[in-house]
Amino acid sequence: MRIQRLLALLLLFAASSAVAQQPPLIDRDLFFGDPEISGAQISPDGRFISFRKQHRDVMNIWVKGVDEPFDAARPLTADTTRPVSGYFWSRDSRYVLYVQDKGGNENYHVYAVDPTGAIDPATGTPAARDLTPYENVRAQIYSVPRATPNTIMVGLNDRDAQLHDVYRVDLATGERTLIIENNENVAGWQFDETGRLRLGVRVAPTGSTEILRVGEDGLVPIYDCTVEESCGPLRFERGTNRIYMLTNKGNDVDLTRLIFFDVETGAEEFIESDPEGQADFSGAAFSDVTGELLATVYVGDRVRIYPKTDAFERELASLRAKLPEGEISLGASTADERRWIVSVSRDVDPGSAYLYDRETGEVELLYRSRPSLPSEHLASMEPVRYRARDGLEIPAYLTLPKGLAEQGLPVIIVPHGGPWARDMWGYDPYTQFLANRGYAVLQPNFRGSTGYGKAFLNAGNKEWGTGAMQHDISDGVSYLIERGIADPERVGIFGGSYGGYATLAGLAFTPELYAAGVSYVGPSNLLTLLKSIPPYWAPIKKIFDARLGNADDPEDRERLERQSPLNSADAINAPLLVIQGANDPRVNQAESDQIVVALRDKGHPVEYLVAPDEGHGFAGRENRLATAAQMERFLAKHLGGRYQESMPPEIGAKLAALTVDVATVTLATRATAADAPAVVASDGSRIQPVTLEYHSTVQVQGQELNITSTREVTAATFEGRAIWRVVDQSEMRGMAASDTTEMDRATLLPVRRSASGQGNVKLRYSPNLIEGEIRAGPQTIPVKVETESPAFGDGAGLEVAFAGLPLKPGYEATVQTFNLIMQRVRTMRLSVTGTETVTCAAGTYETYVVKVEPLDDEPGGTATIHVMREGPHYAVRSTVRLPAMMGGGEAKTELAAMTAGTN
């Protein structure tokens, strides 16, 4: 007994010693509060140093003279609601330019501020001008040409929410000049240094990437790579037609490499791939003065820089000798490149900024971004490798808490977002925060991550949740348990975006592994995720089809349902904390609402935070701190780590405001046919005789079909009944078709329909029955569909019915439509989501944007229709998602001409 008591005392002493050796609990504000200073840049003329620092309690842009002390700096912006995250100088140093959205909605505007402008006493800053003052529009900056320092090249999707047209914007006046209208699904544009638009990049209907030369003959494809390959322009070589290009095209090529490609002749010249044969080409440094390539960059376990000139090799060696150990990166420079901003960071240091004078070799410390953060108490991040269950080697980073034995630790698995991204060695606030709280942290670069070659990336295609991507994460848990590092009863999982999805998937599909989970803006249902992606992602939708799946493909849809954690919520046993931004355009709040409701309804422990002023990730300081406080408290409760109990009153109040009582969460109810009103009030007296000419483009099964059609609306009678007769005449590839719908002149409900072309259709409509036949060759298919209430037609029958609706902003209605292809009545919700000025071949129109979406579980049928604001509301533009049985894809239609009728 004495021996047992002695052993117990020894164990107690050992445990106490371990606790005593742990570093002090670091205040969460040092991890997640605003840095003291960040983002330094030097103006091209070398007169000013700019940086980000708090002004009015929010991170804003400041400026000082290059030789002035930092306490002499003055603020340039005065945003009080959202930090300014990024900015740059105009080429002539006249303006500081920055982008800003509203509440995380990612509809960025570009602003310009004159550092020498008059100070507004109310804000303490010069006035900022909005160069892109368009609502519900996302601006993208493509080029800041050296040759025209008073202009920038900007993409705007005000004409079409899915596509960015390219404009030249005058920085002094804000005047914009159209360079090219994007009518060919281009996702990105490339300029040379003179400001000339040279290339476009788009995703083809097959999912392949196409590089297009911009010329007098339009857009000409000059290079392509498949959906499972990568290629893209980097920068034009000065004075030539050659471009530096990244590519891994070819069966015998795995790692992305750097080549020269001549955009006129198509000639290729190999430049370089990773000298160590491990990683994709990651980046390059160029001289803006000479145009020469200075260095190439690869990221293996750590960043590797390869100088390309003798002079730069000497400079890099000199910098490494004078700067602290860590990853060196080059920032902004003066126009003559005499002075450069250089930053250094490492796993236990978020970084410092230096001013480097290339002429004298002097290196001056400007600031440390978080000088109060005690690096000596932070934990080292180590690259590790482990084997997945199928033998594939998985690269990862492991951070062990300082001062604790490396055995039996609570562990947090942190899958990265993307998922087509990767984790890198270096400072990460969440990693260090968790390690300081006593957790081991594993960050796996599971298959599907970028940077390790196309075979590793493609191995993740459609392998979400129940597939190999999640298995790689699960095998990381097994690796830590086998090494004795992890306490198998205290393993948690936390991630954002795709990492949030992987958290939900881990809890749902491998519930035996995890004791707690934190999902941060993570999708719970892959089908609803795909339906809600931002419209400006449309040009890259085919990449989602290949790497995640196509919801309109029956086989993919079935798999996506299995891979959606929401559908396996009953299997979740571990407590869950869900964090969501209300304005998230990528992962809508409904994704979090639905998993919270599912778990709540089964009596499962679930906590919920929602920030009404955030999007895909939290930018606001108080939101970040409140979220971190709740996260560490949650993990301490369920995994046993340390927890900082103190909290400033304002953070406590913010946390209370973010916390949602899960009992109050409700889901938007899906209307059914039984819920739908019998007839939506569509007024046929609003209709006027007209002839409308439309041009349509249909993308389906890798093909592009072009259709021209003429729609004639005339007054007539049928069996003594006053009707509107709507005749559509269409032509495609030399084939003609005719479709006639006759509608009651008062209600616009269909009475009769007949169509001819490759087959023949004859239908009669009554309030509770639709019957007729479809003839295709020798086959006759009878149609007989009973309805509980009258249904509108589809196609022209529905669009003309829209023309008689009392549309206005905020209008919503539920309608029944008969879908001829599916041969059934579908319930559709239509809503006016906004207004927009549309310019097409027929003219310029003020329109309502009408969204039409099916309220059943069948894919396809979703449409966005721009209709004339002044009645009748004839369609000006439409985009319709086709159902799977029609091959999926999209049909886009625009009004080409309109002529008033005579009867």
How far apart CA 57 and CA 69 sit, in angstroms, is: 21
The number of C-alpha atoms within 13 Å of 468 and in the hemisphere containing its C-beta is: 21
Which of the two residues, 293 and 757, has the higher pLDDT score?
293
How far apart CA 93 and CA 149 sit, in angstroms, is: 9
The pLDDT assigned to 197 comes to 95
Confidence grade of residue 5 (pLDDT, cut at 50, 70, 90): very low
Largest separation between any pair of C-alpha atoms in the chain: 110
Query: Which pair of structure tokens corresponds to residue 68?
Result: 């002035």
pLDDT at 780 over 80: no
pLDDT digits (tens, 9 = 90+) for 441-494: 999 999 999 999 999 999 999 999 999 999 999 999 999 999 999 999 999 999
Given the residues 158, 349, 584, 593, the one annotated as active site: 584
- For residues 411 and 487, is the Cβ–Cβ distance under 8 A? yes
Tell me the whole-structure pTM to 2 decimals.
Answer: 0.74
pLDDT at 15 over 80: no
Given the residues 616, 638, 866, 873, the one annotated as active site: 616
The pLDDT assigned to 887 comes to 43
Mean pLDDT of 601-629: 93
The pLDDT assigned to 168 comes to 95
The pLDDT assigned to 492 comes to 98
- Annotation marks residue 616 as catalytic: yes
The pLDDT assigned to 883 comes to 55
Which of the two residues, 677 and 114, has the higher pLDDT score?
114
pLDDT digits (tens, 9 = 90+) for 781-790: 788 888 877 8
The pLDDT assigned to 686 comes to 86
Confidence grade of residue 809 (pLDDT, cut at 50, 70, 90): confident
Q: Considering only 357-371, 413-427, 655-669, which range has the smallest mean pLDDT? A: 655-669
The pLDDT assigned to 882 comes to 64
- For residues 795 and 788, is the Cβ–Cβ distance under 8 A? no
pLDDT at 18 over 70: no
Confidence grade of residue 12 (pLDDT, cut at 50, 70, 90): very low
The pLDDT assigned to 334 comes to 96
Strand partners, 786: 769
Confidence grade of residue 679 (pLDDT, cut at 50, 70, 90): very low
The pLDDT assigned to 702 comes to 54
Q: Which residue, among 99, 56, 61, has the nearest Cα to 81 in the 3D structure?
A: 56
- For residues 460 and 447, is the Cβ–Cβ distance under 8 A? yes
The pLDDT assigned to 824 comes to 77
The pLDDT assigned to 731 comes to 85
pLDDT digits (tens, 9 = 90+) for 823-851: 778 888 888 888 888 899 999 999 998 88
How far apart CA 462 and CA 89 sit, in angstroms, is: 42
- Annotation marks residue 372 as catalytic: no
Phi, psi of 857 (to 5 degrees): -95, 5
Cβ contacts of residue 13 below 8 Å, gap of 6+?
Answer: none
Most confident listed range (68-72, 714-718, 778-782, 836-840): 68-72
Query: Which pair of structure tokens corresponds to residue 649?
Result: 């009153």
pLDDT digits (tens, 9 = 90+) for 371-402: 999 999 999 999 999 999 999 999 999 999 99
The pLDDT assigned to 106 comes to 82
The pLDDT assigned to 818 comes to 83
746: left (phi over 0), alpha (psi -120 to 50) or beta: alpha
Mean pLDDT of 545-564: 89
3-class DSSP state for residue 142?
strand
Mean pLDDT of 272-296: 96
pLDDT at 14 over 50: no
Q: Considering only 418-422, 530-534, 778-782, which range has the smallest mean pLDDT? A: 778-782
Which of the two residues, 8 and 575, has the higher pLDDT score?
575
Query: Which pair of structure tokens corresponds to residue 821?
Result: 């292809």
Most confident listed range (381-385, 532-536, 679-683): 381-385
pLDDT at 821 over 90: no
pLDDT digits (tens, 9 = 90+) for 84-126: 988 999 999 999 999 988 877 788 899 999 999 999 999 999 9
Given the residues 90, 474, 497, 709, the one annotated as active site: 497
- For residues 629 and 601, is the Cβ–Cβ distance under 8 A? no
- Annotation marks residue 55 as catalytic: no
Strands of the sheet containing 576-581, edge to edge, are 381-387, 393-399, 440-444, 409-413, 486-496, 516-520, 576-581, 606-611
Distance of CA 383 to the CA centre of its chain: 28
How far apart CA 820 and CA 483 sit, in angstroms, is: 62
Phi, psi of 48 (to 5 degrees): -125, 150
Query: Which pair of structure tokens corresponds to residue 465?
Result: 């949740």
The pLDDT assigned to 779 comes to 64
